[in-house]
Structures are given as structure tokens and as C-alpha cells.
Amino acid sequence: MLPAVTGPRKVAYALVALSLLVVARFDLGPCLLAGLFSYMILDRIEIILRKTKLKPFLARWASVGLFTVVAGVLAMIFVSFVRLGLERLPVLVDRVLPRLDALATSLGLPWPVENVTDLREYFLGAAKENARALTKTSGLLTRGFFQILVGIAVAVLRFLSPEPAPLEEGHLYSELHHEGRHRASLFVGSFERVMGAQVVIAAINALATAVFLFSVGMPFKTFLVLTTFVCGMVPIAGNIISNIVIVAAALTRSNQLAAAALVFLVAIHKAEYFLNSRIVGSRIHLPMWATLLALLVGEALLGVPGVILAPTLLYYVREELRLVPAS
């Protein structure tokens, strides 16, 4: 039988809700996301090192050292993705729009725009503006970048901090401290379960896609592989975005290659459903409709970080509800 919800637990619930409202109100999504990702990587590395019978103190500091390497690699991947996107997207748009126009004309389908040239110029102009903004040196010193650094620093400091001494029981502070730690532990655990599985699936998906892209001589191969991996971090919506980009890139070569890419993507996502059930298993089982609604709300509140965090929040709320008795 589940224990009754105590007053300190209710206060802890209120503090969690207040914290999430503060994150949404002040756009602190990048900070929260960076902190959670950093702590997840640190925790996973320490678990692996502990299996080598390394002393706990050495395992923790070695985890921080390896985390620095992993964080550097991930930063390089992200920077490469942004740079390649700014370089390749204008070329991709310039090539694919005339092909789509010709395909629509040959099939007798109405084209949603009257002037393809104007649409192409709009996309290219927007891409060039973003390129100029992102290539400025001061662009790195943005609020979002500062938030990411703070999130990483907090995660590392929390990871290295020793376990606090047990508090004297029987007063409100000790009970609230216990409930708060439990809520935080459950939230971080929810993130590790959801995003840990999502990272594995995204990596497998990107690897399989890379084999296909390089075997058929697809244009923009490196950019497309990075797009598949990065977008794969976002459930459902990320796959849709990467699929559209891959088919559009294939269309710049030929209609046959675009059809082959579409068939491959359908097949790989059918296999991904199997992988998802094996990797995630019975630990999560979030309904697709609920996930889509969570993505919509997350994007409205926090933008891209909200989209990534939405499945975690959905899973966390479900796990908390399982700890509350019905009556």
C-alpha cells in the first residue's frame, strides 16, 4: 500500500512546480538541459569506472576528466552541424525548389506558391542573415551560451559534492530536505531513462542512415548524418524533420533516389520501433498522442529545450502520480 502524501511532500511538489514555472518564465531551458545532460554523462561514466574496481574518489575525478573530453567532442559535433547547416542549407534550397516545381508541373499538381524564385530568395536571405549573426565573435557570448556554462558548472559541482551528513529527524526542515532530494533524484532519473534511451536510438539511426547515404552517393552526406543524429534527440518531430531534409537532398539528384531514400527511411523507422521497444522496454511506454501534446506545450513554453525536455517531464509526472495513493 502506498504511503499517504505528507505535508513536506506537498511542499516539495509545490517547489518542483515553482521551479519549472521559473524556468519557463525566465527562459532557463538551456541551463536546465545542459545541467541534466552533463549530470547524466557524469553519472554514466562513473558507473562504468566503478565496475573496474576503481576507488570512489578516483572514479569521480576520472569521470570529470572523461566528461571534459566527451563534452568537447559533443561541442565539436554541434558546431560542425551549425556550420554545415549554414553552408549547405542555402545550396540545398537553391537546388530542391526548382526540382519540386518541375515535379509538381509534370504530375499536374498545384504548387502552393506563385513565384519559386521569390521563395528561394527568401530562404537564402534568411540563411545568410543567420550566418552573419552566428559567425560574429560576440555571438558566442550570448545569454544561452552563458546559461549552458552555468548548467554544466552546477552539474559538475553537484556531482563532486560529498553526501551530506544525515539530518536530525522530527522537524520540518529535515523532512522537507528528504522529500526535496527524492523529487530531484526522481526527476534526474527520469531524464536519464528517457534521454539515455533516446541518445542510443539516435546514434543507431544516424549510423544506419550514414551507411545508406554513403553507399548511394547522396549529396550533403556529412550534413545529413549530423542532422539525423541531432534531430533524433527529439522524439517523433525530430525524425520527421530529418526525413524531410534527406528526401529533399535526394530529390536534388533524381526522383528515383528520392523514392529510394523514402523507402529506406520507412524501413529504418519500422526497425526503430522494434529497437525502441527493446531499448526502452517497459520502463517508459509513453503514448504517442501524449508525447506529441507534451512536445507542443514544451515548444510553446521553452522553445527547442522544451521540446527535448517534454518527454522527461511527462514521464516524471507519471512516476510521481504512481507514488500517490488514489484515496
* Mean pLDDT value across residues 119-123: 60
* Mean pLDDT value across residues 12-32: 90
pTM over 0.85: no
Q: How confident is the model at residue 125 (pLDDT cuts 50, 70, 90)?
A: low
Q: Residue 219 CB: number of other CB atoms within 10 A?
A: 16
How many residues can be counted in the chain? 327
Burial 137-168 (b: 16+ CB within 10 A, else e): eeeeeeeeeebbeebbebbbeebeeeeeeeee
- Among 198, 268, 285, 196, smallest CA distance to 235 is for 198
**What is the pLDDT at residue 275?**
66
**What is the pLDDT at residue 117?**
61
CA angle 92, 97, 103 (to 5 degrees): 125
**What is the pLDDT at residue 75?**
84
Element (H, E) at 236: none
Residue 200 to residue 167: CA distance in whole angstroms: 39
The residue extents of the domains of the chain are: 28-160, 182-327
pLDDT tens-place string over residues 46-88: 988 988 888 888 889 999 999 999 888 888 887 777 777 767 7
Q: How confident is the model at residue 201 (pLDDT cuts 50, 70, 90)?
A: confident
Q: Are 115 and 122 in contact (CB under 8 A)?
A: no
- 131: Cβ contacts below 8 Å, ≥ 6 apart: 86
Q: Are 310 and 297 in contact (CB under 8 A)?
A: yes
Residue 221 to residue 205: CA distance in whole angstroms: 14
